[in-house]
Structure 1
Amino acid sequence: MKRLILYLSFVVACQGSSRKLWIPNLNYDTVENWDKMRLPCPNDRIIIPEPTWTAYFQTNATLKEMILPMNSDIVFGENVQLNFASDPAVDLECAGEDITFIRNDTKKWFNPTNWKDEDLVVNVETELVPCTHDQVAFSPKSVFHAELDQSVSIATMKIGYETYTTSSLSNFLETVAGLSQFQRYNAASIELTQKTECEDITGCVCGNDKTALKQKICNLYTCPNIACQRSLLAKGGCCNMCGAILSMNYDSNKFNMKVFEQDMYDAYSSVEFMGTRDRKKRETDAEVYLYISKVTGNKIQMVLTDNVPGTNNGQAASDKAAEINDALSQNNKYGLLNISLSMTSDGKDYSQQENLGAGAVTGIVIAVLIALVVTIVLSYLFVKTRPFSRSWFQKDDPLDANIEMAPGIAVVDFMRDPGRPTQGFDNPMYDSPTKENFYMDPSRPFPTLSDDTSFSSLSPTEERRQDMLAFSNPLPDDMPDKMMKKTAPAEEDGVKAFTNPLPDDLDDSEPATIDDDGRGFANPLHISDVTFGVDNEADA
């Protein structure tokens, strides 16, 4: 039962609107109100210059001297005492110097710097200024001076310990205290709707991002310097920022803003969304601040920033945004659509045209598996019909058979060493017109000397020019007769025959004539270091 009560309290608290707190004040004990950025000490002389609207002493103080303007209000809190001491020994650590009160100007209502969200770290400048459903508070024991030049509508307003309605606030603004703390122009008024709840389950738009109002707000805001290389501008933002932005549409029948906010803040923000004015800080190396709102155009915007210094600013926020984007892509329980992600860290943009449900994801997985199986089967059949491990040459294929080679395989000379220079000789028979081969038919008579087939003593190069099949006579005309054992036959038509220099009746006991290089007779086609093969005995 105890757990149930806590849960219900939590839900009710979560349904409350945001509370915006006014920051500037005219208090004596505010460091920012002094030019030395410290509080006065007993040996100091404080100066309140002209003009100064009001200086509020809400605590006891001891001073050496105080210089007041001619026209100003000095307000003392209840039971506050102001003492003056001329003895420096009162505070030995205080050297004593002049210190000036510098809070002498009014602060504008529409300046985002003057507001603080008590529940969240708001990183969209226009939404720091109170929205329609926000509760506005001015701190107790504080005096302020706010300037309002345009009518506004908010949910509630609390000044000090008193909560006002539209009527009671109008009366207060006409009092001395009201006139001194609110300076209004153009008949500006403040409407209090008392509507702290958004009646739309998908969330309510702040409205400060509309063009005219946004321009007014941004003109009053000074943008800080940023170090990231790629900055982003959020919807409703006045300045570029480092971090990440998630923008999305939603299904109005399914989306619940409060549930979505709660889950996102609990899971991903460095500051837990407690649903009350208390915030619990997570123990993390880098704090990531997450802000979710509904913006003009009925879009949900999620802005993430971090506290990482230097050029790495925005890196932790980008990593967290990518994690959120992945989670939302896999789980569509919120009814989000068309999620787009922009990040500072890597300059990339990611978008999803539509989130996929569980059924769609399952279908994609099945389709991928089917495609994989089909690919494997086709690859197996291809390998089976094309056995690359076997030789491309079949045993009984003729030498002139057509050979299919796999694509991509280069045709190389397998018979020659690539590193060895080419050796050879001019083939006098190559690329010459084919002559009739009378040896192919033994029944045909041997051609006469008048046929085109003849012998010549021309060089192979000269013979190729004449397009003839011939070779040089190994027995030139000046060969000595003593080299022949038989008389050569008579010449016929100018063609001289020759006799085997190693006749059949050469006695084995009688050595053959040997040339100087050790050969029995000169090879007319001999070329050094070249070996000629013989295909078969018939050709030999």
Structure 2
Amino acid sequence: MGALAAPGGLLLCLQLCELTRAGYKIWVPDTDFDTADNWSQNRTPCAGAAVEFPADKMASVLVRAAHSVSDMLLPLDGEFVLAAGAGFSAAGASSDSACGAGAAALFLDPDRFSWHDPRSWRPRDLTHGLFSVDAERVPCHHDDVVFPPDGSFRVDLGPGARALRVRSVWALGQKFTRDGDLAAFLTSRAGRLRFHGPGALSMEPEACADRSGCVCGNAEVQPWICRALLQPLGGHCPPATCHDALRPEGQCCDLCGAIVSLTHGPAFDLERYRARLLQDFLALPQYRELQAAVSKVPRPPQSREATGAGTDTEIQVVLMETGPRTGGAGQLAKALLADIAEHGEALGVSAATVRESGAPVGGGPAAWLVGGITAALFLLLLVLPAGALLLHLTGRLRWRRRDAAGPVSFPNPVFGAAGSEKQPPVSQADARSTSQSYFVNPLFSESEA
């Protein structure tokens, strides 16, 4: 056991101030004793509870408060880091049934948190209306990685097929920017308690200096990213809610919306375009149910051939539908095309293309309206003849054959035959041609007519 290693709040503030101009990701999950999600009963152990840690796992566990336990089974290797006022005391076994009397509180597997899981990370700023594709939610090559110094953690570095490259790593109050220094830390006892697995970390010391942005560089590890993200879903993507769903570059599953691909020049400024998209478009009421992701991605070879553009990258603008209403992404995509047609040269954009997803699965409001009208007409055509036949069988409606030599007249369904206009004379040939016609007045029987 030992004292808390760093004055967390002040150190973290200094770290974040230094990283203000850099893109970076902050590690989210922890192995703290006082985090309810780390326990089998989804709550911290009650007073007098028996506590059990996995015997074959290593972990560094931060304890923030005082706890009384009846029994504690410790792992073969690990450490407790005690905050001020934290500690353990012995107590009799709890008899409170609400605390699961008799059942030990099990500390969940500390090895379950993966570097490749997008849910394990968050960016510094969570701007409303913006999101990142799945591959860019995990640290990119030019990102700074921050592990909060006032918490305990454990990270699975993955299978080791590809080295994980980042610009720098902050851990336990230290900043690592050189491969040798980081490797020495990872092989130390403190490093082994917090990082495990065959994967390796290496440094990409250069920051992204291109104002048009830099490609994330996670394409090679995207299969591991998607596997970690979809593990709770059995490894399968949820079905898209629209036809012809889209799969943006870097995304694990299909989504509904639109993708605008921009051919950019050296004058393009990625952050300036993001700000323009937020302020001039996403802030409008008709687009508030949309989210956008803007990043530089590799340009597909077929796209380079089609456009004749020499650059091997493009700007991907993903517009995702998030609300019940649909069609907003397509409208915004057209508005962006019009904006580029007018201001493209000033923005550093020379060309743009759009792809849109299809109609909602099961049909939207318009499809329901058309379907309802069609069903009503079909029902009407089906019910009227059946009703007429029923009236005829009950004697309330009789059919009669017109005189073969007589004129043909059309009853007025509202006023009966007496209310119809006088018809012109009919020739013998016409009479013969219509002698087999039958007419039914659906509102009046023969006697009433």
Residue number in structure 2 paired with 1:176: 189
Alignment CA distance shift 1:315-1:50 (3 Å): farther
Alignment of 1:57-206 (within 5 A): 57-79=62-84, 80-86=86-92, 96=101, 98-120=104-126, 122-148=131-157, 149=160, 150-166=162-178, 167-185=180-198, 188-193=200-205, 195-196=206-207, 198-206=208-216
Residue number in structure 1 paired with 2:317: 302
Alignment CA distance shift 1:51-1:321 (3 Å): farther
Measured in 2, the distance between the counterparts of 1:66 and 1:226 equals 47
Measured in 2, the distance between the counterparts of 1:127 and 1:24 equals 18
Alignment CA distance shift 1:65-1:327 (3 Å): farther
Which amino acid is 1:29 matched to? Answer: D
Match of 2:218 among 208, 217, 221: 208
Which structure is larger by alpha-carbon Rg, 1 or 2? Answer: 1
Alignment CA distance shift 1:329-1:285 (3 Å): closer
Cα distance, 1:218 vs. partner?
2.9
- The superposition leaves residues 506-533 of structure 1 with CA deviations (integer Å, 9 ceiling, x where unpaired) of xxxxxxxxxxxxxxxxxxxxxxxxxxxx
Question: Are 2:145 and 2:169, in contact at CA under 8 Å, matched by a contact in 1?
Answer: yes
Measured in 2, the distance between the counterparts of 1:284 and 1:40 equals 48
Measured in 1, the distance between the counterparts of 2:51 and 2:328 equals 45
Alignment CA distance shift 1:341-1:84 (3 Å): farther
Q: Which runs of 5+ in 2 are unaligned?
A: 1-16, 231-235, 300-312, 361-421, 430-449
Question: Are 1:111 and 1:217, in contact at CA under 8 Å, matched by a contact in 2?
Answer: yes
Which amino acid is 1:101 matched to? Answer: F
Q: TM-score, normalised by structure 2?
A: 0.61
Does residue 220 of structure 1 match 2:228?
yes
Q: Report the secondary structure of 1:293's partner residue.
A: strand
Alignment of 1:351-366 (within 5 A): none
Which amino acid is 1:204 matched to? Answer: C
Residue number in structure 2 paired with 1:16: 21
Measured in 2, the distance between the counterparts of 1:13 and 1:320 equals 37
Cα distance, 1:299 vs. partner?
1.0
Alignment CA distance shift 1:65-1:15 (3 Å): closer
Which amino acid is 1:303 matched to? Answer: V
Range that drifts further, 132-141 or 257-266: 257-266
Residue number in structure 2 paired with 1:340: 353
Does residue 41 of structure 1 match 2:46?
yes
- The superposition leaves residues 265-296 of structure 1 with CA deviations (integer Å, 9 ceiling, x where unpaired) of 333457xxxxxxxxxxx999965332210001
Measured in 2, the distance between the counterparts of 1:418 and 1:326 equals 63
Which amino acid is 1:158 matched to? Answer: W
Question: Are 1:138 and 1:159, in contact at CA under 8 Å, matched by a contact in 2?
Answer: yes
Alignment CA distance shift 1:43-1:164 (3 Å): same
Measured in 1, the distance between the counterparts of 2:239 and 2:90 equals 46
Q: Report the secondary structure of 1:204's partner residue.
A: coil
Cα distance, 1:177 vs. partner?
0.2
Q: Report the secondary structure of 2:229's partner residue.
A: coil
Alignment of 1:424-463 (within 5 A): none
Which amino acid is 2:192 matched to? Answer: L
Cα distance, 1:36 vs. partner?
2.2
Match of 1:50 among 35, 48, 55: 55
Question: Are 1:43 and 1:95, in contact at CA under 8 Å, matched by a contact in 2?
Answer: no
* Higher helix fraction (1 or 2): 2
Q: Pick 1 or 2: higher relative contact order, CA cutoff 8 A, min separation 6.
A: 2
User: How large is the Cα RMSD of the aligned pairs?
Assistant: 3.7
Measured in 1, the distance between the counterparts of 2:136 and 2:320 equals 15
Identity %, equivalent residues: 24
Q: Report the secondary structure of 1:173's partner residue.
A: helix
Residue number in structure 2 paired with 1:534: none
Count the aligned residue pairs: 324
Cα distance, 1:60 vs. partner?
0.9
Cα distance, 1:109 vs. partner?
2.6
Q: Report the secondary structure of 1:205's partner residue.
A: coil
Alignment CA distance shift 1:86-1:336 (3 Å): same
Question: Are 2:287 and 2:332, in contact at CA under 8 Å, matched by a contact in 1?
Answer: no
Cα distance, 1:224 vs. partner?
5.1
- The superposition leaves residues 368-398 of structure 1 with CA deviations (integer Å, 9 ceiling, x where unpaired) of xxxxxxxxxxxxxxxxxxxxxxxxxxxxxxx
Q: Which runs of 5+ in 1 are unaligned?
A: 1-11, 271-281, 348-416, 425-540
Cα distance, 1:419 vs. partner?
3.6
Measured in 2, the distance between the counterparts of 1:21 and 1:288 equals 25
Measured in 2, the distance between the counterparts of 1:345 and 1:329 equals 25
